[in-house]
Amino acid sequence: MQDVKDVVYLKKLGKRIRILRKERKMTQLDLAGKMDNFAEQIGRIERGEQNASVCTLKMIASALNISMKELFDFDE
């Protein structure tokens, strides 16, 4: 079971991913296609419902053409 603090962090990370994706005028389907993944998984990550692996986060950063550091550039 996830700690409440973990859930808050996952939601902040998901919101950051959504913002970056929309800045690039990409849909969840567009992002998923660049990652060879499913849009449903992107949606769960963006809503903070799924704890993405480091490898998945690296693929997201790459698909968004950003660094991992930029992906995590949000207020804790």
pLDDT in tens, 38-76: 999 999 999 999 999 999 999 999 999 999 999 999 876
Token pair belonging to 74: 């949000």
pLDDT in tens, 8-47: 999 999 999 999 999 999 999 999 999 998 999 999 999 9
Instruction: Please give the model's pTM, rounded to 2 decimal places.
Output: 0.90
Long-range contacts of 50-56 (CB under 8 A, 24+ apart): 50/10, 51/2, 51/6, 51/10, 52/13
- Is residue 5 very low, low, confident or very high in pLDDT (cuts 50, 70, 90)? confident
> What is the extent of the structural domain holding 16?
4-71
Residue 66, domain member (yes or no): yes
Number of domains in the chain: 1
The domain that contains 47 carries what CATH number? Answer: 1.10.260.40
Which two three-digit tokens encode residue 15?
A: 């919101």
- Position 76 in a domain: no
Residue bearing tokens 């698909």: 63
Q: How many CB atoms lie within 10 A of CB 64?
A: 19
